[in-house]
Structure 1
Amino acid sequence: MRRSTGSVPRIRRGRVLKKVPEDRISALPDSVLSNILTFLPLEDAVATSSLSQRWRHAWTSVRNLCFDDGGPMGAAADNPDLVDEFNNFIESVMAGTDPVSIHTFSLRSVNAIRRDRFPLWVSQAIMRNVREMEIDIIQYAPMQLPGCVYSSMTLEVLRLHTAFRFADPPDGVCFPQLKILQIYITHPENRVIEKLFCSCPSLTELSLTVLIQPDDPPANFIIQSTTLNTLTFVVLFASLRGMSYHHRAVIMAPNLQLIRIVDNMLMEYEVHEMQSIQQATLDLQHWESDTVDPQRARNLIEGVATTACLILSGGVLLALKRACERQSLSRFDNLTSLDVEVRRSGWKGLHTILTATYNLRTCILTKGDWFDVNDHALGWLETENVPHCLSERVTKIKMKAFTDGKDDVRLVEYFLWHSKVLDKFRYHCHGSVQGARLQTLCRKILNFRIQSPTVNIRVTRETLN
């Protein structure tokens, strides 16, 4: 009869069997196990409860509650049980976790969730001193954001990827500790947008996306903050037909360093106190036949005239061409880097902005998809009014998506002849220029008259997508 004890290895046929390795992970303290589970998807963290008695309650101390149904859009339409399963999972986790403070509450669902329970889930996260909250859910009608979110003393990051209805901001402080705010607004109401972005005393980063319908009344956005460092403002118009042109945005942020504005209609802007701006990206839509006053684009770009880096869409150049026909643009004394898209008749706008810059070092030009240039548009190449920055300051020029066309090559010749201190010139051809055409273009460019004795010229071909 064989007998063995728990710690004595058994002997069989002259060999000693090794002991079963000790489960060192399970022996770790609860705080360490909780930290390990933080790196797992929430569903997997909860599933560890079935491993052993030791792991049964380990998941309940997880501080990152990230719910994601992970399904394709509309998957629950064929199987409503999926919705119930996901909602019940949220309920059980919110009821089963026990940390006094949680770091993250994230909810993403491509299918419907229980609208009657959503405010409770958010409120529970706020009561547990959540620091970061992110919501990306399907809503057939915007829901009201629970009031406790506005007054949370721990919430530092709030990202709302879908539209919510906002309560009237209080006269005093709103979001007292919030540093990063990303929201999406439809049918903007002035009672909200005139006060909400002026009441956050700790805000450093704001990302605001707005969808405006043709029948919406004139909107008046006011963004005023002494702490704001980064601003992204995206304005989308659902339809250009019957659209009101009387929407307006006022931006006052003396410590703002980065600003990005995307606007496919060109609303009216008032920009003040931008002495700290380092980079401005203006992606505005404007067309030759537009009835919108191009002076709006001019007012906006002059509002960020102290920036060191300026990135402009082709629509901005076209608007500048129209707005500066009688009066030149204000000077950009701090501008050292210019990145512009040129399309349609924006060439004159390019000359306008180059003439206004005196300390430019880097110029990047990208040829836009809609491109139509003629002798009249490029007439400034033949004048003696060479921008001061080209002859005295610019050391790097990059041209992207250009071809071997006559007007494109004329621009290269102009830059190489008038840029006296140029160190680097890069010409990235459109992918359609290849083989013998590319070789011919290279020879032609290398034979141009060049003012700078130190310039390094390189012609390459972009890869077609």
Structure 2
Amino acid sequence: MEETEQSSRKRLKKVLDGNQIMPSSIDRLSGLPDAILIHILSFLPTKLSVATSILARRWRFLWAHVPNLDFDSETHSSESTTSFSGIIYRVMLLRKVQSINTFRLTYLCNCGKYELETWLATAIAGDVQKLDLYFPCNVVLPQCIFTCKTLVDMRLRGCYLGSLYFHVIISLPSLKKLHLSSVKFGNSYRNLMHFLSGSPVLEELIIDGIVDYDTCSYIICSPSIKRLMLNLQFDTYVSQSTADKVAIIAPSLRYFRLIDCLAGYIPGQRLSSLIEADVSFNNPKVVGEDYSYTLSVLRRIDLLCNVKYLKLSSGMVFNFIAFGDQSKPIRSFDNLTKLELDADCLFLKKFLESAENLQVLILREVHVHLKHWMEPNQVPKCLLSHLTTIRIDGMRCTQQEFDMVRYLLKNAQVLKRMEIYSRPDGIGFEAKFNALQRISLFHRGSVACELAFF
């Protein structure tokens, strides 16, 4: 018994001396340094961060040293608007640090102009670096946020920016990332241009939905932007008169992502510095194989002719005649080495003929868009000398799909591997086995080609 007690004392001494791992029942979180605990709290909304003050005496004022502020009126639904404003004031008053890394405010109630200016001026005085604001579209933002020297990342959602050009000075010398979501710019294209011109080092621009597209043109002009993401989807009807209203002039652009349901937009400049593009076209107002819409899409794609990696998707069937229109100059995609395609097979023919250096081809859900599959007039140069990898997803083993696979296997002279994936709900095991046997008998232009069917 005495030996057992001595052993217990020795183990306890080792724990207290730090020579042995503490039992799981001991609060290890409280054993962390304050700096680490404050860093953990910085990932929580301010309401939860403040709530940790009741855990123990040591936690009472840790939240006050957190450099991030995150207020959301929806999480305070039980309080009145006055109470929510009071919470923001009290938190800002009791904070122990001046600096603010991130200020995030979601205020879907009526927000007073004086209150908003006070909160944002406090954040700017704290050298805020990231600003995330979500207000109803009728809220006009104060001037102070547009002249913040320390701001690096800004996200505005549901705000009104319709008077920037005429009434607001824009000077954001450190801003590198700008995200605009459902922002209302009013009826002047100058508002967005003014915003961008006052952001000389901006590298990433995200525009997610445009509220007032029917009444305004948009010119995205910036010499510094490297990443551009446009989601031009609308909740309301967009008339055909809105065509040719978005222009892109970005000579340093490296990555471009576009979700587009418009009838068209101003061509602008060719994006000569582009490396990667991900574009999706789907206009629900276009009925059938519309000739003018097809030409508009082709013009937009031709702006990407210097891209190295292109991902193109569309759930629409395009006009066959527009693809062969002799009045339209044919662009060469000489830099394109990887193509991922989920669209009408007219695009497959277009890129096989115009991308001489294509190395990797990925076709997704091709069975849906095989209406226009046809063999090129002559074997494309990319099949003769560069295309080494082909992947086909979602195959249902229709005759047109077999024709396409047969053509690619026969003419791809340097192909190293073709992978074919059938839809999980598309064909049974026996049909899949028969398809593999059938494809295995196709002539292969490359003796080194491996065929895999999944």
Task: Determine if the alignment matches structure 1 residue 449 to structure 2 residue 447.
Answer: no
**8 Å contact kept, 1:280–1:311:** yes
1:264-293 Cα offsets, whole Å, 9 max, x none, are 123213242533210012212255443744
Structure 1's 206 and 94: CA in aligned 2 closer, same or farther, altered over 3 A?
same
Paired residue secondary structure (1:143): coil
Paired residue secondary structure (1:194): helix
Correspondence for 1:3 = none
Of the three residues 421, 430, 448, the one matched with 2:423 is 430
Structure 1's 246 and 233: CA in aligned 2 closer, same or farther, altered over 3 A?
same
The Cα of 1:186 is off from its aligned counterpart by: 3.6
The Cα of 1:69 is off from its aligned counterpart by: 5.7
Whole-Å separation in 1 of the counterparts to 2:348 and 2:332:
14
Correspondence for 1:94 = 92
Structure 1's 351 and 205: CA in aligned 2 closer, same or farther, altered over 3 A?
same
Whole-Å separation in 2 of the counterparts to 1:454 and 1:290:
43
**8 Å contact kept, 1:210–1:235:** yes
**8 Å contact kept, 2:147–2:169:** no
Correspondence for 2:340 = 339
Correspondence for 2:394 = 401
Of the three residues 385, 407, 414, the one matched with 2:378 is 385
Correspondence for 1:8 = none
The Cα of 1:152 is off from its aligned counterpart by: 0.1
**Match for 1:349: what amino acid?**
F
The Cα of 1:244 is off from its aligned counterpart by: 2.3
**Match for 2:444: what amino acid?**
I
**8 Å contact kept, 2:291–2:321:** no
Higher helix share: 2
The Cα of 1:413 is off from its aligned counterpart by: 0.8
Correspondence for 2:204 = 205
Correspondence for 1:7 = none
TM-score, normalised with respect to structure 2? 0.83
Correspondence for 1:300 = 300
- Structure 1 unmatched runs, 5+: 1-11, 461-465
1:12-411 aligned at under 5 Å gives the runs: 34-68=38-72, 76=77, 80-81=78-79, 86-108=84-106, 112=109, 114-116=111-113, 117-136=115-134, 139=136, 141-169=137-165, 173-184=170-181, 185-186=183-184, 188-189=186-187, 190-212=189-211, 216-217=214-215, 219-240=216-237, 242-272=239-269, 274-285=271-282, 287=286, 288-290=288-290, 292-314=292-314, 318=318, 322-326=322-326, 327=328, 329-342=330-343, 346-367=344-365, 371=368, 373-374=370-371, 377-378=372-373, 380-381=374-375, 384-411=377-404
Whole-Å separation in 1 of the counterparts to 2:186 and 2:316:
25
Which is worse superposed, 88-97 or 260-269?
88-97
- Number of equivalences: 428
**8 Å contact kept, 2:289–2:318:** no
**8 Å contact kept, 1:328–1:352:** no
Correspondence for 1:4 = none
The Cα of 1:428 is off from its aligned counterpart by: 1.1
Structure 1's 16 and 408: CA in aligned 2 closer, same or farther, altered over 3 A?
closer
The Cα of 1:430 is off from its aligned counterpart by: 1.6
**8 Å contact kept, 1:213–1:239:** no
Structure 1's 67 and 203: CA in aligned 2 closer, same or farther, altered over 3 A?
same
Structure 1's 321 and 284: CA in aligned 2 closer, same or farther, altered over 3 A?
farther
**8 Å contact kept, 2:155–2:179:** yes
Whole-Å separation in 2 of the counterparts to 1:36 and 1:194:
39
The Cα of 1:304 is off from its aligned counterpart by: 1.7
The Cα of 1:255 is off from its aligned counterpart by: 1.5
The Cα of 1:337 is off from its aligned counterpart by: 0.6
The Cα of 1:211 is off from its aligned counterpart by: 2.7
- Structure 2 unmatched runs, 5+: 18-26
1:389-439 Cα offsets, whole Å, 9 max, x none, are 122210011111121111111111111111111011111112221221111
Whole-Å separation in 1 of the counterparts to 2:320 and 2:154:
37
Whole-Å separation in 2 of the counterparts to 1:258 and 1:317:
26
Task: Determine if the alignment matches structure 1 residue 416 to structure 2 residue 422.
Answer: no
Whole-Å separation in 1 of the counterparts to 2:36 and 2:110:
33
**8 Å contact kept, 2:277–2:311:** yes
Structure 1's 320 and 70: CA in aligned 2 closer, same or farther, altered over 3 A?
farther
**8 Å contact kept, 1:213–1:243:** no
Whole-Å separation in 1 of the counterparts to 2:293 and 2:29:
67
Correspondence for 2:24 = none
The Cα of 1:194 is off from its aligned counterpart by: 3.3
**Match for 2:190: what amino acid?**
R
The Cα of 1:245 is off from its aligned counterpart by: 3.0
Taking every aligned residue pair, what percent have the same amino acid on both sides? 24
Whole-Å separation in 1 of the counterparts to 2:198 and 2:420:
48
**Match for 1:202: what amino acid?**
V
Correspondence for 2:22 = none
The Cα of 1:51 is off from its aligned counterpart by: 4.5
The Cα of 1:203 is off from its aligned counterpart by: 0.2
Please give the root-mean-square deviation of Cα atoms over the aligned residues, in Å: 3.4
**8 Å contact kept, 1:198–1:222:** no
Higher strand share: 1
**8 Å contact kept, 2:175–2:199:** yes
**Match for 1:350: what amino acid?**
L
**Match for 1:199: what amino acid?**
G
